[in-house]
Amino acid sequence: MKVSYNWLKEHLPLELTAAELSTHLLAIGFEVAGHQKIGPTFSGVVVAKVVSREKHPNADKLSVCIVSDGAANWTVVCGAPNVDAGQTVAYARIGAVLPGNFKIEGRKLRGVESQGMICSRTELGLPKDVDGIWVMGEGPKLGTDVGSLLGPADDVLEVEIGTNRPDCLSHRGLARELAAYFRKELKPLGGGMIESKKESFPVAVEDREACPFYGARLIEGVTVGESPAWLKNKLELIGLRPINGVVDITNYVLHDIGQPLHAFDADKLNGARIVVRRSKNGEKLLALDHKTYDLPEGLLVIADAEKPVALAGVMGGEESAVTTATKRILLEGAFFNPAEVRKSSQKTRLRSDSSYRFERGADPESSRAAADRAAGWILQLCGGNAAKPSEATTPRVRHSPIRCSAAVINAILGSDFKDHEIKLVLGKIGFVTDNGVEFSFAAPSWRHDLFTPNDLAEEVGRFLSYENIPYRMSPFSPKTARLTPIETESRRVRVRLASMGLSEAYNYDLLSEKTLTACRLSADAQPRVANPLSEDWAVLRQSLLPGLLKNAQYNLSRAADAVRFFEVGKTYALRGKEVDEVWRVAGILLGPVLDARWQAARAPRAAFYDGKAIVEDLLEKAGAVTWAKLSEPAAGKTASDPLFHPTNSLRASINGAPVGTVGWLHPRVSRAHDLEREGAIVFDIDLDRLAEREAAAARFKPFSALPVSRRDLALTLDKTVPYGRVESVVRSCKIEELQDILLFDVYEGNNLPQGKRSLAIRLTFGRADRTLTDLEVAKAVETIVAALGKELGASLRG
């Protein structure tokens, strides 16, 4: 809210500078977001008349003018094309100081002595009107200080008023708050009742709860013209556009004492009556903002005998607006229920200074006085005769007083404020009655935020200063601080992945359908946002991978040569009327695995097995993990499955349920993201499932000091036999002494039969109690080779 300091001082005498006032306002909870200094930023500029104008003898574009400031004539060289004899101008004398600390001195211009300067508005720091000098028009006496014509200096503060303090949304309201804080008295409001016997239009209120008070006063014979300068100036200072005398007065009263009012052109109201009622189906209102609103049924409207003429508390209608042609006005002063006004404002998306105050809560007891005050101004500035107002009043139920004590207030604040201090503060805000043990506090009609001792504690804290409340470290609670399992797990996973060279990405949870389609994912089972910012933000994600693919694409197009990203985040799925949220971790690897550009041979590009290593690492703690190709039937599916290459991806399962996937991108997905077909390795893990499994504490197992025996086997098998089968056949021989199987070479080449490949494995045998004999080892190898031959058709190579 814009506050003029001069205007504020009309209600409360204050000696502070505007900057000091801002500091005090902040201390009691009103942030000052802006401070604009108003008034002349120049001196020594006076009103003068151009007596004569001649062309400069030595310059085509300059004129030599004689100006008179009433006391003497001066020669001034002027470059403005619009200067002419007879004009009243702003003349900067020698010694004048213009904005920017520009001092005017006498000097020669192309051989002619210039004794000052004729100013443009821009040169005086004023809004520009025309090119060239400021031609002021007749009126002000020659020699008058131009600064004094601009109105007094002022400070306009942009004060932020919380939604709980609508009572401060006016100059008087804020002054009232400051008066209580500074323990000063507000200046009394002038004006009084206007006595009249003439009747106004009858008023009928159909919903008394929605409109507890409605007053309408007829004023006849008004002349609506421009407002006087002081009023226009006031409104302009706080950013309002003056419209006409009557409208300006209602706006003035709104910003002066906080009560929204409305004036109708009484001759435009059908049937000479006012009904406060609910809107009916199909009703429309052409509002003052020149837009037509279809009113939904049930909004509170002000209607004449035929149709709505205003949306109650929000905005009046264009058709009944007061114009310069208006002769009779009907002035409304009412109190509307905040929830009603808020509903109307939200349903029509129409907001105004009036709705802003009503929906936060106006003072229900000031409507009449404010309307009277406005009527007084109208009579004074627009003339006319006021009738007696018609009113519909419903007695207000007051809140019961708050019973409280200094001890309770001090407990809430943790403070040690004195009993009398507390009561003094509260007595300035409302009405305190003391019975010696506790007191009771009754809030004034303009405060809608004081119901509980906590509310009072805040008032006491604000006025006696939060700075006077001590710093206290309450003792630790007996419970020990704990992390949630998912937090423990995400920390572990984050640190593991970062140590494996993946950087962490943060993506938004909302995706577009287009993005999902590019990833072969469907939005069908996904929760959607009803009011997305744009189509890019429509669907809650089921996978972190679309975001990571975009990140990869983004960085590759900006000359990154390797991309290793992971993200820990939530994914979503619709389940009936609910939304399931699952924490997942996903990642993408692309490009060289080492930063070794000058030794390219040492830096192979990330391959499937690099991704598999990462997933294995993360799943290690979970215990028994089984791996299967994504294309094989499985007990469960993961939302991101379609994004993966079906045959070059593996699914990891624990107890039969999928826990993670790693593999190539589906060719269509890599194509859609401009990625090489084999380039990107992606993985996706269910972090919630991983978090469920607590890693067992490590137990040391002694290892044998005895030597082991190693045997290398080069096996030739069909290419189609996966290596995993080899290991399982070897293990199925159940040779107790077999300690380890290591694959150390995979060879496919010319000297092998078509469709075959060679796998070289190293078997390690040993016992804890003794060294094995060669014969024992040979026997074991024989068993294994036989089994491999029988089960897999493997033969030993040369």
Kindly identify the residues of this chain, within the stretch 345-364, that bind another protein according to CB under 8 A.
359-360
Name which position in 540, 685, 715, 729 contacts another protein (CB under 8 A): 540
Q: How far is the CB of 140 from another protein (least distance, A)?
A: 38
Of residues 507 and 716, the one with the C-beta less far from another protein: 507
* Of 611, 622, 609, 610, the residue nearest 659 (C-alpha): 622
User: 484 or 750, CB closer to another protein?
Assistant: 484
DSSP string, 174-232: HHHHHHHHHT--PPPP---PPP--SB---EEES-TTT-SEEEEEEEES----PPPHHHH
Task: Provide, rounded to whole angstroms, the least separation between the CB of residue 535 and another protein.
Answer: 13
Least distance from C-beta 521 to another protein, angstroms?
A: 18
**Closest CB 260 distance from another protein, rounded Å:** 15
- Strand pairing report for 213-220 and 284-286: unpaired
Within the chain, what is the greatest distance between any pair of CA atoms?
A: 132
Shortest CB 234 distance to another protein, Å? 27
3-state secondary structure (DSSP) of residue 594: coil
The tokens describing 289, both together, are: 């903002």
Please report, as residue ranges, which positions from 246 to 305 form the binding site for another protein (by CB under 8 A): none
For another protein, give the closer residue by CB, 141 or 472. Answer: 472
Cα separation values, 613 from 503, 546, 617, 650, 683, Å: 17, 22, 6, 12, 11
Which of 59, 149, 379, 469 is close enough to bind another protein by CB under 8 A? Answer: 469
Residues 559-598 binding another protein (CB under 8 A) are 560, 562-566, 570, 572, 577-579, 581, 593-598
Site string for another protein, 56-95 (x = CB under 8 A): ----------------------------------------
Can you tell me the distance from the alpha carbon of 588 to that of 565, in angstroms, rounded to the nearest whole number? Answer: 5
**Number of shown-chain residues binding another protein (CB under 8 A):** 97
Residues 11-50 that bind another protein (CB under 8 A): 26-29
Burial class (CB in 10 A: 0-12, 13-18, 19+), 169: buried
Q: Which two tokens stand for residue 768?
A: 């804890």
Q: Give the interface segment with another protein, choosing from 194-202, 301-309, 430-438, 458-466 (CB under 8 A).
A: 458-466
Our measurement of the distance from residue 44's CA atom to the centroid of its chain's CA atoms, rounded to an integer in Å, reads 47
Among the listed residues 230, 471, 700, 703, the single contact to another protein using CB under 8 A: 471
R_g (Cα) of the chain, nearest Å: 42
* 3 state DSSP class of 491: helix
Cβ pair 269, 216 in contact under 8 A: no
Give the chain's end-to-end CA distance (angstroms, integer).
92
C-beta of 357 vs 651, nearer to another protein = 357
User: Would you say 212 or 384 has its CB closer to another protein?
Assistant: 212
Q: Which is nearer to another protein, 254 or 563 (CB)?
A: 563
Q: With helix as H, strand as E and coil as C, how does 383-435 read?
A: CCEECECEEEECCCCCCCCEEECHHHHHHHHCCCCCHHHHHHHHHHHCEEEEC
Tell which one of 127, 190, 470, 798 touches another protein (CB under 8 A): 470
Nearer to another protein, 57 or 414 (CB): 414
- Binding residues for another protein restricted to 408-427, rule: CB under 8 A: 410-415
Question: Rounded CA gap, 628 and 651, in Å?
Answer: 5
In whole angstroms, how far apart are CA 263 and each of 158, 215, 310?
28, 12, 10
Residues 303-322, interacting with another protein (CB under 8 A): none
User: Which residue in the set 108, 472, 699, 770 belongs to the binding site for another protein (CB under 8 A)?
Assistant: 472
Give the number of C-alpha atoms closer than 13 A to the C-alpha of residue 137, restricted to the C-beta side: 1
Please give the Cα distance from 592 to 78 (Å, whole number).
73
CB nearer to another protein: pick between 151 and 592:
592
Residues 43, 405, 445, 503: which binds another protein (CB under 8 A)? Answer: 503
CB 267 within 8 A of CB 300: no
Taking the least distance from each CB to another protein, the nearer of 219 and 312 is 312
Nearest approach in angstroms of CB 486 to another protein is 7
Provide the mask over 161-200, with x wherever binding to another protein is found by CB under 8 A and - wherever it is not: -xxxx-----------------------------------
Q: Per rule CB under 8 A, is residue 611 in the interface with another protein? A: no
Does 428 sit near another protein (CB under 8 A)? no
Q: Scanning residues 514 to 533, which ones bind another protein (CB under 8 A)?
A: 527-533
Of residues 375-404, which lie at the interface with another protein (CB under 8 A)?
none
Q: Which of 195, 467, 524, 774 binds another protein (CB under 8 A)?
A: 467
Between 415 and 758, CB nearer to another protein: 415
User: Is the Cβ of residue 339 or residue 796 nearer to another protein in the bound state?
Assistant: 339
Beta bridge partners of 130: none
Q: x/- site string to another protein, residues 205 to 234, per CB under 8 A?
A: ------------------------------
Which CB atom, from 86 or from 532, has the smaller least distance to another protein? 532
Q: How far is the CB of 756 from another protein (least distance, A)?
A: 36
Site string for another protein, 133-162 (x = CB under 8 A): -----------------------------x
Give the span between the Cα atoms of 543 and 684, in whole angstroms: 8
Should residue 505 be labelled a site residue for another protein when binding is judged by CB under 8 A? yes
The binder of another protein chosen from 507, 648, 764, 795 (CB under 8 A): 507
Q: Which is nearer to another protein, 236 or 509 (CB)?
A: 509
Three-state SS at 641:
helix
CA separation for the pair 524, 538 (Å, rounded):
12
Residues 479-498, interacting with another protein (CB under 8 A): 479-484, 486-487, 491, 494-495, 497-498
Least distance (Å) from another protein to the CB of residue 157? Answer: 14
The rounded distance, in Å, linking the Cα atoms of 186 and 356 is 25
Q: How far is the CB of 545 from another protein (least distance, A)?
A: 13
Q: Which stretch binds another protein (CB under 8 A): 143-151, 508-516, 629-637, 752-760?
A: 508-516
Length of the chain in terms of residues written: 798
Among 457, 464, 545, 659, binds another protein (CB under 8 A): 457
Span 681-710, contacts to another protein by CB under 8 A:
none
Going from the C-alpha of 348 to that of each of 287, 300, 316, the distances in angstroms are 11, 12, 13
- Long-range Cβ contacts of 286-291 (<8 Å, 24+ apart): 286/317, 286/318, 286/319, 287/311, 287/315, 287/316, 287/317, 287/318, 287/350, 288/315, 288/316, 288/317, 288/318, 288/321, 289/315, 289/350, 290/318
Region of 3-11, 148-156, 506-514, 664-672 interacting with another protein (CB under 8 A): 506-514
- Cα angle 204, 208, 213; round to 5: 75
Which of 8/409 has CB closer to another protein?
409
Q: 413 or 654: whose CB is closer to another protein? A: 413
